[in-house]
Each structure stands twice: as C-alpha cells, then as structure tokens.
Amino acid sequence: MSSLQIRGLTILLVIVVAILIAFPLDEKINLGLDLRGGMHLVLEVETQDAVRAETETQAELLIQRLKEEEEIEASFELTSDSSFELTGVPADRADAVRDAARRALGDQNWDWRQSGDRWLFDLKAQALAELRNQAVGQAVETIRNRVDAFGVTEPAILRTGNRIVVQLPGVDDPERVKSLIKNTAFLELRLVAEQAPNPAPTRAALIDQLGGRIPDDVEILPQDIEDANGNVIGQRFWAVEKRRVITGRDLRNARPSTGRLGDPVVLFILNREGGRKFGEVTGANVGRLLATILDGKVIIAPRINSRITDEGIIEGGFTPQEVNDLALVLRSGALPAGITYLEERTVGPSLGQDSIERGEKAGLIGGVLVVLSMLIVYKRTALNAIIALILNIILVFAALALFNATLTLPGIAGIVLTVGMAVDANVLIFERIREELRAGRTVKSAVESGFGKAWSSIFDANITTLIAAVFLFTFGTGPIRGFAVTLSVGILASLFTAVFVSRFLFDLTLSRRQRVESLSI
C-alpha cells in the first residue's frame, strides 16, 4: 500500500469518527448559559463566619477540658472573629491552663498569653488563612452538591479567590435556586433552658424572667410566628442551652416524609456517634423540651417523651416543596459560612435561541464570503481549501462533543475566527506555490516547495495564538473560557487540515497525471 493510500485512509477514518462523535449536534453539544438561557451568579463567601464558628468551637472545647480534666469552672468571651478571652481561672492554676490549651488547641494554630486573671487566645495567621481557604473550598463543594441534587444540567461552578461563579443553564425557577444555594441550613438540636417559662413574646420579657441576666450557658433565639398562609406575622423567643445535643454534622441522611397528621415533615437519620449522643441526652431528659434550630431560629420545641437514638423528624408547618428543599440542603451539608450575592444575571430561553440564530447566520454569511473569495482569487485550487475548511468545522464540533465541552456565544465567535485562521494557512501555502511557479519550477516541485516553506510561518502564527488561548482558558471564567476552548480546538484542527489534508488533495490530483503543465491557482 502506497503512502498516498495510507494518508487517504487515515483522513477517511478521521472524518468518519468525527461525524459519529459530533452528530446529531443537538444531542451531542451542550449549550451554555447565553445560548440555552438560565442564571449567572457571582457569590462571595463570608469567611469570617467560618472563622468565628471555629473560634467559638475551640473555646468551648477548652472550657470543657478545663472542667473535666482540671476541675476548673471557667468562661470565655469572643474578642474578635479569631480570638477569645478566658476568665475565671485561679491565679495558681496557670500551668493547668497551659496544659489543657496544648491538649485542646495545640501549639501550631493558637497563641496564648496571660494578662492578670485573664487569658487571651489568638488564632495564628497561617491557621487563619488556611481556615478561610477551607471555608471557600467547602462552600464550593456544598453548592455543587446542592445544584447536582436539584437536577441542573451541565452547571458550571468555579472558584476565584473568595468568590464563586455559578452558571446554571436551563433554570426556570431562579428564586428557588437562589434560596437553595444561599440557605446555610445549619441544623442544631438543643435543650430548652429550665430557668424560665418558654417561650416569651419579647426578648426583654424573657430576660426579665431569667432574673435580668442571661446565664453563661443559655442563649436566646427567636421563632417566627406564621399565619395559615405561611406568612410571618411576628416572633417569639426561647431560652435554650448553648450546648448542642446534635448538629447537622451528625446526620447520615435526610428525606421528605409525612407526620402523624399527614403533614409534610423531614425525617433525619443519624450516624453512629450522633445516635449515641442523642440517645444519652434524650434518655436523661425525658419530659423536657428539645428545640429544633435551623440557621439560628427555633423551628419547633416538642417535649421528649422517651429515649430517641438513631432518627427523628423536623416539623413546622412546611409545604411539600419546602420539605423537599430542606431535606436536600441537609443531605448536602451546611454551608461553612454565609453567602453574599455580588452579581446576578438571568438569560431567558428566547434570548438564548435568538443568540443561536444570529450566531448561525453570522457563521453562514462569513463562510459563504470566505468560499467566494477563495474561488475568485485561487480558482479551482481553492476547492482544496474549502474541503479542508469543512473538515475543520466537523473536527471542532467532534472535539467539543468528545470532551463534553459547553458551547457558548463567544465559543461560536471562536469557531468563526478559526474559519478565518484555517483559510489563512491555505493562503500562505497557495502564495508560496505561486511564487515557486513564477520562479519557473514545475508544478510538482512548486507544490512541494510551497508546503515546505509555508510550514514555519503557519506553525509560528498558530502556536502564538494557541498560547494566548491557553492563558484565556487558565485565567478567564465562563464565556471567556468557552471562547478559548473553541479557539484552541480550531487551531489544532486547522493545522491538521491545512497542512495534512490539503497536501493530500494536491498529491492525489497530481498523481492522476503523468505530467502536469499548469495549475489553476
């Protein structure tokens, strides 16, 4: 088998495989937000929330260690998001505090110092930076889990510093999605304090019932009062213990269910450790009220009638959709920090369809003009470039389908640009061939020399553009990356078609005749 036949079979195989991969286009190519319609959100993670929560958790752990291991009754107060002050330690127990701090907090993450009868604890700069980074990373994964569970097709969730870019094609209920994403969904179950009757109509009234001062181990939290239609018409307040019986971190699963009266509820199932803790507390506190708290608000506070171990329910007059959404966010985990919306754009399906039609029109007009120009300037030789150009477009769509890339409006612009670049490579080759023919070379010699001399210029021009496309993809987001993807694929495809395919077509034409006196170029 000759070299020409091998090249021909290779090109034929590439064409067949590309067509099988790329077509039908409407099933194989994913459309981006600007073509399909949907939502574009830019969120910022309030990392100080995660830092504050970690500081409070570590302070509570130290207080517990001092009480259990050193028999020291101490208390703490946050002085900033990343520092707290410890009080109530006898002056002669300084060594006990240092030992407990090393065991509970460790030397690597915290600095501490004594100032009179107070101890000051500060989170180190490196640990603070790592905690902020972890908060953003965890937020990205939590949002991704929620979006995937919601059923959005081909979502794009990207991190840039403390910000998260979320693109959701095809979303038809933006407000519900925003609620799902932003909802912190931090679940806590705490015992209701016994020091005062609960609940009270106002915070001040509850403090009065507590003797004018909130005990150190008690916190006051609100509960929304709703009418029959679910509208919030007021609030009441509960005094609950600061100690958490269980939290959302102890959940193994959560799913929608129905209560005893057929009302929608969320059934939660605890992991082994959560079930053990829940069983111990409920078994020791039968008859007391247990508050279910979500995002700092009391949802319901039923009475404990018996020991509960591995599962429970969350009820509170929810609608079926609210139950589904709450179960979803509980399964995906709580956000480690609050979320702020910095930017929101919604693209309607009709606008996306209009973009597709305009992009198709632009590509068709541009392609026709390029073909006519090539035929006028290079006559029958232009057919080589036209065939290579068609194959170039097929290869671009095949690559997009193969790598499951998303086609955006800038991506269509990238395809149109690669059409011009593919033709530009052929122009360089054809002009070189013309120069060689004017210099008196034979047709075969001119073709061979033209391809050889044009190759370095084609390679340099395409590689520099490819480098720019790589930088766009690396540092860009959303539509910019879509443009970079199609541009990069188009460049690689044009190198293959302009040099390999076009050269094959020349060689195939010239091989059919013993002597070629002229070339229509």
Compute the mean pLDDT over every residue in the chain, rounded to the nearest whole number: 82
Tokens of 69: 């291991």
| Beta strand ranges found along 206-324 (DSSP E) | 218-226, 232-241, 246-247, 251-258, 264-270, 290-294, 297-300, 311-314
- What's the pLDDT tens digit per position in 11-40? 889 889 988 888 887 778 877 777 777 888
**pLDDT tens, per residue, the chain with 521 residues:** 578 888 889 888 988 998 888 888 777 887 777 777 788 888 998 888 888 888 887 888 888 888 888 888 888 888 888 999 988 888 788 888 888 888 888 778 899 888 877 889 999 999 899 889 888 888 888 888 778 777 666 677 888 888 898 888 777 677 778 777 776 667 788 999 987 778 889 999 898 888 888 888 889 999 988 777 767 888 999 999 988 888 877 877 888 888 777 888 888 888 888 888 888 888 899 889 988 887 788 888 888 888 888 787 777 677 888 788 777 777 766 677 778 888 888 776 666 677 778 877 877 887 788 888 888 888 888 888 888 888 888 988 898 888 877 787 788 888 888 877 778 888 888 888 888 888 888 888 888 888 888 888 888 888 888 898 888 888 776 667 778 888 888 888 888 887 788 888 888 877 776 566 667 77
Quote the pLDDT of residue 222.
93
User: 484 near 472, Cβ under 8 Å?
Assistant: yes
Quote the pLDDT of residue 240.
93
Quote the pLDDT of residue 236.
92
Tokens of 194: 């016994």
From residue 431, alpha-carbon distances to 5, 379, 428, 444, 495 in Å are: 27, 13, 5, 15, 17
Tokens of 151: 């059923």
Peptide bond preceding 336 in cis form (omega within 30 of 0)? no
The gap between the terminal CA atoms of the chain, to the nearest Å, is 30
Residue type, 15: I
Residue in the structure block whose two tokens are 């050889």: 452
Taken in order 206, 210, 212, 214, the sign of the CA dihedral is negative
User: 362 near 416, Cβ under 8 Å?
Assistant: yes
Rounded CA-CA distance 400/21 in Å is 9
Quote the pLDDT of residue 477.
66
Beta carbons within 8 Å of 25's beta carbon, 6+ residues apart:
397
Q: Which domains does the chain have, with CATH numbers?
A: 3-35+348-511 (1.20.1640.10), 47-128 (3.30.70.990), 183-344 (3.30.1360.200)
Beta carbons within 8 Å of 499's beta carbon, 6+ residues apart:
425, 429, 451, 455, 458
Residue type, 499: V
Nearest to 34 by CA among 519, 430, 410, 448: 410
CA 105-111-114 angle, 5° bins: 105
Residue in the structure block whose two tokens are 């790589």: 470
Tokens of 67: 């009480």
Q: In what order do the strands lie in the sheet with 163-169?
A: 156-160, 163-169, 38-46, 338-347
- Strand-pairing partners, residue 200, are 237
Q: How far, in whole angstroms, is CA 17 from its chain's centroid?
A: 33
- Whole-model pTM: value is 0.58
Length of the chain, in residues:
521
Q: Phi first, then psi: what are they for 252, rounded to 5°?
A: -100, -30
Rounded CA-CA distance 388/14 in Å is 13
**Secondary structure element (H or E) that encloses residue 25, with its range:** helix 25-28
Quote the pLDDT of residue 103.
84
